[in-house]
Structure formats: structure tokens, C-alpha cells
Amino acid sequence: MKSIGVFTSGGDAPGMNACVRSVVRNALYLGLDVYGIKYGYNGMIEGDIYKMKSYSVSNIVQRGGTILKSARSKAFLTEEGRKKAYEQLSRRGIEGLIAIGGDGTFTGANIFYEEYGIPIVGAPGTIDNDLYGSDYTIGFDTAVNTALDAIDKIRDTAISHDRVFFVEVMGRHSGYIAVHVGIGGGAELVMVPETSTTMKDVIETLRQGRNSQKTSHLIIVAEGEHQGNAHEVAERVRQELPDLDYRVSALGHIQRGGSPTSFDRILASRLGMAAVEGIIDGKKNVMVGVVDDKIVYTSFKIAISKTKPISEDLMRLSKVLSI
């Protein structure tokens, strides 16, 4: 293999730039040509591709977002779109791909490999930490720290006014962010898609808090919670406790931005190096990850189809510390 391409796709995550940097410099170190593909699969189809040098990734390790940009691509969902993408890669002699993204990115990569056989190794870049085959994904640690900083400030206001705050964090299908910020932020209750929290549980938590002389409460709600988003949960609680003084805060996309933590920079750099080494060693249609601090490779099919459970110890810890 003499030439590879690298792209970022799906939602941006802090640390993607550090991963791109690692891919480019490791590829160059090993004697490969490396091309940057802008705007994900969309740029692959349109030919928005350029040759990268070492200086192309200078001064980006500390930056959030992605210098390669990201975009959704409806065209890549079609056979015609994927054919155009393959032709663009072939025209430049690109023999393999490093895909940095989440489940949607890897679903597309899996189909692309099955149709055209081009070797692809993925690096998990998503704040949700929901991909099976890696203990942590790029951006998760930064997102947790960003959310925790906001929650610490919200706690100050909650205490000052004796209020209940319902705080919504990202996580459509995963409660990893919610559980981590709930424990770190001292929340009274964490509501995540993986568990069956009932409205009765929420009401009982607030009533018990009152009985134990608590004057303020934090309820952390993952956006994919089955009982609804934070606004919906708060409204249903108000119907049961009409005198409740509460506020709702949805942290939203601030969790995706910002300078990556040292943990995310190092994780992204390790995964970028391992992705390049993996593709040179003949690995294809796999995601690189870190499990028990060791590099592992997991097929795309398994990475996107198997559920990554939240640690029962973390859930138990969250419950015990909330009393």
C-alpha cells in the first residue's frame, strides 16, 4: 500500500483533529502518501480531496472540531453515489481509508467495503461513547468535562434558590455522559435510556430529598431517556408536585465543542497511529479501539450492532451517592 485517505464524518467530537494529525504523521513516517478528504462521504463523492504534508496538521492538536470538516451525505446512501466516491479515490491512487466517526460513519464504511473491497479502518470519534469495541471514544472525556463545568455552575444557582434543576445532556441512545456527570456533579438522580426509570422513581427521589432536609436537587436526563426530554420530565413532575420550584437547562451542542482534554488528545493519537499500522498490516473493515488500555480491532458489523452496556458498578455508585 502506497497511498491512503483520511476523513471525518458524522457529529464532530473534540480530539478528531488530534486523530487526523496522528494519522497523517504516522502515514508519512511509514512512507505513505496521505490525502485529506473534506466533508466526509460528501467530499469523497465531489472529489474534495487534497494531498497532506506534515505541516498540514501543524497546530491542530489542541483545537476542537475537525479541520477536514464534516457533513451528512444523502448521495452516499445510493449505489450511484458510492460508485462516484470509488472513482474519485481510484483516480488519485488511494488504496485504503481511515474513517474517523461514529456508527453512521462505520455503517457507510461497511457497505463501501463490501461493494468495492477497499480496505477501511475506523477510529471511534463520538462524544456518546456508544461504540462496542472500545472502552472510550474520542471526544467523550472532553464532553463530560464540559458538561460537568456547566453543571457545577447550575448547582450553585440551585443551592442559592432552593430549586430543582432538570439538566439535559447529550446521548440519544447512550447514557454514558449522563452517568459520568451525574456522579461527578453530585446529582440526586440520573435518567438514561439503558435503565427503566419511572416517573414514580423521580417523584419518590424528590420526596425523600425533602424528608432528609435537602433544599435543592439536580436531575440529570439523557436526551434519549424513554420518559422524555428534560422539559417533558419536568412538566410531568410538576403535575404531581405543583408547588415545586424548578428550572430546566438543556446543555446542547456546547458538549461537542472546545479544546480536547489531555485524555482525548492521547487517546486520539493512539487510535490514529493504530489505524495506520492496522491498515498497513492488512486489516480491513474494522474499528480500532482501546480495551483495558490495549489496542484491539473489532469488525464494523460488531462495533455498530452490539450494545455497549453501562457499568452496573457505575449505576450502583450513582444511586448510593445520591441519598
264 is catalytic: no
DSSP for 109-147? HHHHHHHH---EEEEEB-TT---TT-SS-BTHHHHHHHH
Catalytic residue among 103, 128, 130, 141: 128
For helices 176-185 and 312-321, the axis angle rounded to 10 degrees is 30
Percent helix, strand, coil in the chain (nearest 5)? 45, 20, 35
> What's the distance, CA 212 to chain centroid?
37
Which residue, chain included where needed, has cell 451542542? Answer: 253
Cell matching residue 161: 434558590
Q: b/e for 154-166, b at 16 or more Cβ within 10 A?
A: bbeebeeeebbbb
Burial of residue 81, with CB atoms counted within 10 A of its CB: 0-12 exposed, 13-18 middle, 19 or more buried? middle
Q: How far is 287 from 139, CA to CA, in rounded Å? A: 16
What residues act catalytically? 128
